[in-house]
Structures are given as C-alpha cells and as structure tokens.
Amino acid sequence: MHKQISWKVGGQQGEGIESTGEIFSTALNREGYYIYTYRHFSSRIKGGHTNNKIRMSIDPIYSISDDLDILVAFDQETIDVNYDELHENGVILADAKFNPEKPSNFKGTMYVLPFTHIAKELGTSLMKNMVAVGATACLMQLPMPGFENLVVETFKSKGEKVVDLNKQALILGYEALDEVIDRNDLMSLEKPNKDERLFMIGNDAMSLGALSSGARFMSAYPITPASEIMEFMIDKLPQLNGTVIQTEDEIAAATMAIGANYAGVRAFTASAGPGLSLMMESIGLSGMTETPLVIFNTQRGGPSTGLPTKQEQSDLNQMIYGTHGDIPKIVISPIHAEDAFYLAGEAFNLAEQYQCPVIVLSDLQLSLGKQTVHKLDQSKIKINRGQLTTEVDEETTHFKRYNVTDHGISNRVIPGVKGGIHHVTGVEHNEYGKPSEASDNRNEQMNKRMRKLDSFELSEPFHVNIDHNEAEILVIGFISTYGAIDEAISRVDAKVNHIQIRQLYPLPVDQLMRYVAKAQKVLIVEHNYRGQLTQLVKSETNIHDKLETLTKYDGKPFKPKEIEEKINEMLGRVK
C-alpha cells in the first residue's frame, strides 16, 4: 500500500489531456485524498506535447513530486519525453493505436491497451480518455462509483446516452487492464481520511477572496495565467449585482478600476507581466490620488511574450520599482491556494485603509495548479473600509481630502456625500486637491503620502517553520515554492529553518533579521534569472556574507529534490 502516488497523462494539445486529468483528480479528491496538480501546456491552441501531472496522498501536499509512478501515454512523444521520471517499478499505460515502443533503459512495465479502439467501438475516439481513466482505476484498485458519479455530473447536459457511453468506456478500460495485468504491478493507496475538502486553482481562491471582501467590480483584459480570474468573476459577480468589464487593454482596465474605487465600489483588476507593464502609469495615478486599487498579478515567464504558459517569478522588481516617481505601495504574496483566499480578501482592506495600490503577487503554478484546499471560512474576512467619511460639516465649502496628518492617511469621501466636494488630479496638489507646485506644499504632500507605510506590517508577514533556535541554514522563498522547500527540509538531517514571505513590500526587515540572526547561512529559492528576491533582501539588509541563491527559470516548478540537493551542498560547507 502506498501513502502517495504520482500519475501523469500526456498527448497532443487538444486531445483532452486536461479534461482527463480533471476527471481523475476530482474523483480522487472526493475520495478524500490530498491532490496537487501541475499542467504542462503549450501557448498554442492545438498541437504540441502537453501533460497533466497529478500527485495524490493521504497527507497534505503542496508540491509536485520528484518522480512518477504511472504514465498514461496517448502518443510516443509522451513516453519519450516523460519516461525518465518514472521510478524503476513505474508503469506505462499506452494506447495501442500508435504502436508504442518501450524505452530500452526503462526497467518498469508497459501495458499496451486499445484505448482508441474501445472508444471507437462505443461510437467516438474522444472517449479514449475515459477508457484510460478506467484502466488507471484498475491499476490503483480504485472504487468505480466515484468516477461514475462524476461522469453523470460532467455529461448529464449532453443526454443520458452520452452518460451511459462514458460509463461503459470507464468499465471497459478497467476490464481491459484487469485481463492482462500482473498482480504484482497493482498500486493501491492507503485509505484516506474522508473529511470534506475543496479542490481549486489559486485563481479561483483569489476570486473567492475578492467576493468575500465585498469586491463588486472587475475590469480586465484577458491574459494567461490571469484569465481564469475574469472568467470566474463573469460567472459569479452578476449573481451578486456586480459587474465585469472586458476592456480594450490593460491601461483601461486599471484606470476603470481606479474610477470605480473612487466612486465607492470595491474594484480590482488582474493581469500578468506584460499587462502589468502597461498598467504602471495608472498605478502611479492610484498612488498620487490616494485612490484604493487592488491588482492580482499572476506571473509567467518573461520578458515580452516569453513563456506565457510556464512558471516564473520575475515580476518582483517591476511590482516594487516599476512606477515612475515615489508612491506608497503594498506587495503581498500568498503561499498556496488556501492562503490566496484570505490574503486576497485582506488586500481590499489594505487598499482602503492605506489608500494606495495593493498588488497580490501570484505565479503560474499557484494560479493554475489545482490543489486540495481545506474548507474556507468566509467569516475570517472582516471588511475594513479605513477612514471613510460619510458626514461632513455643512459649514465646510470644500473637503480637505488630502489633509496632512501625522500618520499620512487622510479622510476619504465618495461622490454624493454632502460637503465632500474636492478636486482630484494626478498633478501635485494641496490639501483640497487643487494643483499646487509650491515647494513647501510639494514637500508636505510627498512626506504625507510616504508616511503611510512607516509602521505597516501584515499580522503574519511570513509563514514560519522555525523548529530550531540555532539553525545551520534558513531557507527563504515566496509564493508557490512553499511546498517544495518544506518537503526538502523534511528530508534533511540537519537544523534547517524555513520562512515563506507573505509581505514583500515594504519588506518587514526587523522581523526578517530576527530569523536571519538564528542561522549560519541563508538560502533564497526563487524562479528567475537574476535572483530578484535575493536582490531585495540584500538591498534592505546587511546579510550579504550569509546569503546564497538557488534560481530556476526553465519554466518548470521546483522539485523538492532540487532544493534538497542545494541544502545538502551548503551543509557540506557549513559543517
């Protein structure tokens, strides 16, 4: 019996690889297993190799696996590209249609099954995916009712005949392998705890967080990997009397969200690297006019179009330093889908409390990788609209919207509040908002704006795994590297601590240094070429002599073993 198994299905883009993985993983999640998925897909609409890797476990998991137990192949390329991930007892389930060849140095077993032939006998080759799921159910000795129920849910809108045919495809796939399999090759999972859990991508979790925090307007332009956020909102927001507008570009998306926030509606936009580049002037406008603005940035491989469907974390510098001039800005980063729900909800509070742009920084693996999520508690998201004035002294002719305060935050009114009239402009302005280039006024307003974040700190700026008072190594990461780092550390026989940064900017230096002080060496793990997180830490601290970086920028997420190898290499020098 296994505590975890890793499964992958592969073929040509457009062959239903994603839907195959979706049905398989959803059924397993409902059986009570923890699931973590990774989609390898091309930026092309159709054609090119694609695969869906799914890790299932009886314990919580937040990372892809190092290796592979089962590979389902719809073409030879899938075998050639992926077989080296299989461990020596791994199994390949291959469609007989392409006359599969077993790699000469592969020590595991390959079963050649008539996936396409069975599906055609039922009426259409499209059902070969369901035949393959049935064969996998046989290999893993999984109960069929869960798959059959999912087939009903998935195809009931297409009629009873389609449902029945897909059920037959499942059963025939199961029977096809059952007739030929060596019982020593069966891979059964231990029975899981069947607590009710959710199964979602990070983009869905962030979207739910936005809804729970009262967001009712989204303006955006489609871009991978952010588009699922807009699609989610198009489906859900109208049910809550909210609105989504697909704009002509990202500039319009950002300025429209600023306008809606000014009018009093909690509003946001979502995009990815190149789209965020277009939004930079608008982000500056948000900072200058002190209008709340929330942006979800789902990073992908850059620059330019770069690797639009691959993993990377190279927008950090742009998020912190991209805008012209100096404005207060908050950049926060969830570490997994559950955290994305709560942190996205908190972002709207921060934007209104500090009246500045707030960027929620995700990455492709968190945004699109589907994972098991514990039940979300909406009651934990408390709405705080900051210093929002709803009544103004009627004797006042104009409202001091930009009143100079010790903490840098002025009272805000929304249009329609009697006595709340004021001027709003991106030009430097006085306390009433009227343009003013006077030197004293410039200094007062700039100092006021920049004071906002002097004492800002999230209640939990880091996710902390500090088991040792004195550690040989402290590992630091952000966003989706959380699971791979934690798993790597669990394998190392040494004193290694881990913090995952949730508040990237302003960086909480004092708290960071308390953790750094307990370690002989610091390792920062990140997905980009230059080591942007490392540069940020170096610029804010004086720990250069302790600091090392592990970077990866090939478009794939870290595997735990890659981080484990780096930690062991550093330990060899520390001891």
CA distance linking residue 444 with residue 572, whole number of Å: 54
CATH of domain 199-380: 3.40.50.970
261-298 in b/e form (b: 16+ CB < 10 A) is bbeebbbbbbbbbbbbbbbbebbbbbbbbbbbbbbbbb
CATH architecture of the domain 462-571 equals 3-Layer(aba) Sandwich (3.40)
- pLDDT (0 to 100) of residue 171: 96
pLDDT at 490: 96
Q: What is the pLDDT of residue 420?
A: 92
Q: Domain boundaries in the chain?
A: 4-179, 199-380, 387-456, 462-571
Q: In angstroms, what CA-CA distances link 317 with 331, 448, 536?
A: 11, 25, 8
Same fold yes or no, 4-179 and 199-380: no
Both structure tokens of 322: 């991209």
Contact by Cβ (8 Å): 373, 309: no
Query: CA 73, CA 82: separation in Å to the nearest integer?
Result: 9
Token pair for 84: 């080296």
Topology given in CATH for the domain delimited by 4-179: Pyruvate-ferredoxin Oxidoreductase; domain 3 (3.40.920)
How many residues would you count in the chain? Answer: 575
**pLDDT digits (tens), the chain, 575 positions:** 899 999 999 999 888 888 899 999 999 999 999 999 999 988 877 778 999 999 999 999 999 999 999 999 999 999 999 999 999 999 999 999 999 999 999 999 999 999 999 999 999 998 999 999 999 999 999 999 999 999 999 899 999 999 999 999 999 999 999 999 999 999 999 999 888 899 999 999 999 999 999 999 999 999 999 999 999 999 999 999 999 999 999 999 999 999 999 999 999 999 999 999 999 999 999 999 999 999 999 999 999 999 999 999 999 999 999 999 999 999 999 999 999 999 999 999 999 999 999 999 999 999 999 999 999 999 999 999 999 999 887 676 789 999 999 999 999 999 999 889 999 999 999 999 999 999 999 999 999 999 999 989 999 999 999 999 999 999 999 999 999 999 999 999 999 999 999 999 999 999 999 999 999 999 999 999 999 999 999 999 999 999 999 999 999 999 999 999 999 999 998 76
Give me the numbers of helices (H) and strands (E) for the chain, helices first please: 18, 20
Whether the Cβ atoms of residue 11 and residue 78 lie closer than 8 Å to each other: yes
Order of all β-strands in the sheet with 471-478: 462-465, 496-501, 471-478, 519-526, 547-551
Q: For residue 16, what pLDDT is reported?
A: 85
pLDDT confidence of residue 255: 98
Closest-CA residue to 528 (of 288, 364, 295, 354): 364
Phi first, then psi: give them for residue 496, nearest 5 degrees.
Answer: -130, 125
At what angle are helices 128-139 and 115-122 packed, to 10 degrees?
Answer: 130
- What the block records as the tokens of 223 is 């871009």
**pLDDT value at position 47?**
79
pTM: 0.95
